[in-house]
Structure 1
Amino acid sequence: MMNARNANEAVMAATSRPRPVRRRAWSSSCYTAATVAALLLAWEAACRIFDIGAYLLPTPTEVIKTIADDPVFLLGHTGATAAATIAGFVLAVIVGVALAVAIVYSRLLEKTLFTSLVAFNAIPKVAIAPLFIMWVGTGIESKVLMAFLIAIFPIIVDTVAGLRSVDPAQLDLARTYRSSHFKMFWKIRFPNALPGIFAGMKVGITLALIGTIVGEFVGSNRGLGFVVLQAQGTYQTPLVFAAISVLSVLGVVLFHLIDLAERRLLPWHVSHRGAKP
């Protein structure tokens, strides 16, 4: 009885303590907010002290005022950029995972397709963007293709690494029980590769956003890239910074959505142990 009571008291004492992970997360958020606030204050002070004109470097208050003056304008262009980015990213995930599986299970594709992908990834995508404008026009299709091309490579590489990192002993054990190739893939290889897939997706979502902006720079009449290009041409520097600020927020939001999905689907992974409050 005493041992059981002591064990219960120990469990209650342990659960009543503040969780260090929650403290670390809160501390990290505070440090991030403080750092951003300090940089903005330094930026504001430098512009005022050195009397820098808004056409060269607007103050943060001027940027915020530009956003607040017409939020619907920037919101509409943000929606266009986000739609093209998400569409290209989803397409990159579907095609990238499928190609990675084919590469892992086929030595011929590993020697031919994988090498070709590496060579193609070395080509500057800015040089390809005008071709897409010629082929599919200035609509959303060209932006989706640019986002897809830039995002797919890290997804393929990380998925291949994840599929190959499975413990050979697990596969040998499955073979002794005469498991089919599909069952070994679905029950062993694919779950083992999920952390790698999500790692590639985190990199891919940011690259997809870059690809969309490149496409909007080359030819578009919608999107944040179009806003930046037009505002730069008319020397509306505060609007340029406003569009860039919204673009950075969009990138952070998309990245954290992928991270949240990973935490929900892979709570068992070592990188998320104890991360839930």
Structure 2
Amino acid sequence: MRAVRVRRAVDGFAQPAVAACSLALAVGLWQAATVVWGIPSILLPSPVEVLSALRSHPAEVAGDVLYTGFEIGLGWVAGVGIGMAVAGAMAASRRLRLAIYPLLLSVRIVPLVAVAPLLIVVFGATLRTRVLLAAILTFFPVTVATLEGLLSVPHSQLDLLRSVEASTWKRIRYVRLPNALPSVFAGVKIATPLAVEGVLIAEFLASSRGLGHAVLQAAAALDTPLLFGEVALIVGVGLTLFGLVVLAERALRWTDDGTDVGGFGTGDGVSAPTGERLVFGGVALAAVAGVWVVGTVVIPNARVFLPPPTAVAASLLETPALFLRASVESLWKLVVGWGVGAGVGGALGVVLAVAPRSRPVVGPFLVGARVTPSIVAAPLLLVWLGISFSAGTALVALATFFPVAIATTNGLTTLPDTHRSLLDSVDAPRRSRLFVRLRYGLPTVVAGVKLSLISGLSGVVIAEWFVANGGLGVLVNQGMRNLQPTLTYAAVVCLFTLGIVLFGGTTLLQRRLQF
């Protein structure tokens, strides 16, 4: 045990040092590339130019960092706290789980960037609204990961506590929660960059302060060095928050060998009948429609930005070809972008799982790339690639690779200790070990794919707003610009339908992979 503690202490100092060295090396190569190849600063400014741009606005930069960081922190705390509380309640009751899960899915599956302007109109461009947007994006992956972790526990332990008549909440506290910690942290890791994205979406749309507003100003002025500097600060805020999560994870380390294990779980093995799921899903959708109808009546001047469902349905029926064509264009961007993002994320996940010493080197760049929200990367891609299909698929790939990478890493490290010992005893070859790991981790990987599809839909909308022509995102934007809320909501309904089909199909695949 003493040797294990010493090794952990050494790793605790060595890993941050390796990460810092890898970042410093990357910055040095960046500087050398701009000098050797003479890249214009409007395309790729050097680190020296970026630093100079930030130093020329010290007071404004410091104020923006503090303001945005405070908003992100509040949204993250709210989203993680609510997500864990909701997951605990759902784990305690199967009927409650069946009733709430479709509602959570309906809230998250619609890209937030499509409805954020409406939320800003309803609640105002206030701190509360920006925190709300961050919390909405954050709580869903935390809820999903925590719930599946709480439901994926050794049944022998649950049976033991049931035999002594332990209460449901005691079973959650002493069995489900300890076993769910790997899944909880996997969900929190995925959710952390989303808190950054939620705040920046709000600052992009309606704010006169913060890093999001500063990015827009720099992009409009074609001040690429300052734009890169503001993006670097956003990445720094996200990396800091992510680092705090990693420190908390290490403080609550659940294995003796220091290996991060666990993922999203594979369910509790007691699935509700399909008919019951369909009934609860239908009731949930009816509840959403009911709230929608009530909102059109209760909210003052609702028809200006909240058309009734009948008007939206009429719009869909009047021009079905328009929405079908836009849906196909959006789906094509999602398929290509997700394919690229999932391929990169899966490859990185395999590397991080089988070569743990690579994590300090690759980790900062992995997190940094995801912490850069799609809506912030859009101006950069617009400068580099212009309005093109390549820019659109790049944005989708940026939005999708991170959940797949995290899920793959966690999935490939879920092999039970007994199985690992057996493989060691027969000196199993590396290829066979990887196959066994994949067999046990595949449900976890598929769970990450579910989350990546939802993120991919948001990436598609952002791409079609900024760097691509055609698609449902263009219709959403057109409806908001021309004060045609019916068009906007009809496109959102199409996005919701597309998301439900993709998410539901992946969920069915995940259930078939449970063993």
Query: Deviation digits for residues 122-153 of structure 1, max 9, x if unmatched?
Result: 21111111012101222212211111111111
Whether contact under 8 Å (2:83, 2:143) holds in the other structure is yes
What is the identity, as a one-letter code, of the residue corresponding to 1:166? V
Question: Do the aligned partners of 1:92 and 1:152 also contact (CA within 8 Å) in 2?
Answer: yes
Partner of residue 219, structure 1: 206
Partner of residue 239 from structure 1, selected from 204, 226, 244: 226
Query: Which residue does 1:151 correspond to in 2?
Result: 138
Pair 1:186 & 2:162 matched: no
Matched, 1:267 2:256: no
CA contact under 8 A between 1:198 and 1:262: conserved in structure 2?
yes
2:49 counterpart SS class: helix
Q: Per-residue deviation at 1:227?
A: 0.6
Q: CA deviation at 1:94?
A: 2.1
Distance 2:40 2:144 in 1: 46
Shift of 1:272: 3.5
Residue 155 of structure 2 aligns with which residue?
A: 168
| Stretches of structure 2 lacking an aligned partner (at least 5 in a row) | 261-515
Aligned to 2:126: 139
Q: Equivalent residue for 1:177?
A: 164
Determine whether 1:64 maps to 2:32.
Answer: no
Q: Aligned partners of 1:176 and 1:18: how far apart in 2?
A: 37
The change in CA–CA distance for 1:134 and 1:270 in structure 2 (over 3 A counts) is farther
Tell me what 1:80 maps to.
67
The CA distance in 1 between the partners of 2:16 and 2:250, in whole Å, is 18
Q: CA–CA distance in 2 between the matches of 1:182 and 1:31?
A: 42
AA of the residue aligned to 1:241: F
Alpha carbons 2:8, 2:258 under 8 Å: kept: no
**Distance in 1, Cα, partners of 2:143 & 2:108:** 12
Taking a change above 3 Å as real, the CA distance of residues 273 and 52 of structure 1, as seen in their structure-2 partners, is closer
8 Å CA contact retained: 1:195, 1:269? no
CA distance in structure 1 between the aligned counterparts of 2:48 and 2:40, rounded to whole angstroms: 13
Query: In 1, distance between residues paired with 2:168 and 2:217?
Result: 54
How many angstroms does 1:68 deviate by? 2.6
* Separation of aligned partners in 2, 1:205 and 1:18: 29
Aligned AA for 1:186? R
Q: Is the deviation greater in 21-30 or in 73-82?
A: 21-30
Change (3 A) 1:78 1:271: farther
Contact 1:43 1:60 in 2 (8 A): yes
What TM-score does the superposition give when structure 2 sets the normalisation length?
A: 0.47
Report which stretch shifted further, 222-231 or 36-45.
Answer: 36-45
Partners of 1:43 and 1:204 lie apart in 2 by 29
Given candidates 42, 53, 56, the residue that maps to 2:40 is 53
Inter-CA distance 162–140: structure 2 relative to 1 (3 Å threshold): same
Q: CA deviation at 1:271?
A: 7.1
Amino acid at match of 1:267: R
The structure whose Rg is larger is: 1
- The counterpart of 1:101, out of the listed 88, 113, 128, is 88
CA spacing shift, 1:104–1:234, aligned 2, 3 Å: same
Equivalent residue number for residue 199 of structure 1: 186
Amino acid at match of 2:210: G
Q: What is the CA distance between 1:30 and its match in structure 2?
A: 4.8
Report the secondary structure of 2:209's partner residue.
Answer: coil
CA distance in 1, matches of 2:196, 2:5: 38
* 1:32 corresponds to 2:19: yes
Task: Give me the whole-angstrom Cα distance separating, in 1, the residues matched to 2:93 and 2:109.
Answer: 24
Secondary structure in 2 aligned to 1:57? coil
Amino acid of the residue matched to residue 221 of structure 1?
A: S
Letter in 2 for 1:268: W
Alpha-carbon displacement from aligned partner over 1:198-252 (angstroms, at most 9, x marks no partner) = 2222221211111111111111111111110011112221111111111111111
Letter in 2 for 1:179: A
CA distance in 2, matches of 1:262, 1:38: 27
Out of 222, 226, 237, the position equivalent to 1:250 is 237
Q: Tell me: CA distance 1:48–1:113, structure 2 relative to 1, closer, same or farther (3 Å).
A: same
Look up the equivalent residue of 2:244 and give its one-letter code: L
Shift of 1:260: 1.1
Distance (whole Å) between structure 2 residues aligned to residue 63 and residue 47 of structure 1:
12
Structure 1: which 5+ residue stretches go unaligned? 1-10
**Equivalent pairs, count:** 261
Deviation at 1:62, TM superposition (A): 0.8
The answer on whether the counterparts of 1:138 and 1:221 sit within 8 Å (CA) in structure 2 is: no
- 1:53-94: CA deviation from partner (whole Å, max 9, x where unpaired): 323321100111222333332121111111111111111122
Tell me how far apart the structure 2 counterparts of residues 113 and 185 of structure 1 sit (CA, whole Å).
19
Runs of 4+ in 1 over 6 A off after TM superposition: none
Counterpart of 1:157 in structure 2: which amino acid?
Answer: V
- Which residue does 2:263 correspond to in 1? none
Equivalence for 1:209: 196
Q: Take 1:43 and 1:268, find their aligned partners in 2: how far apart are those partners?
A: 39
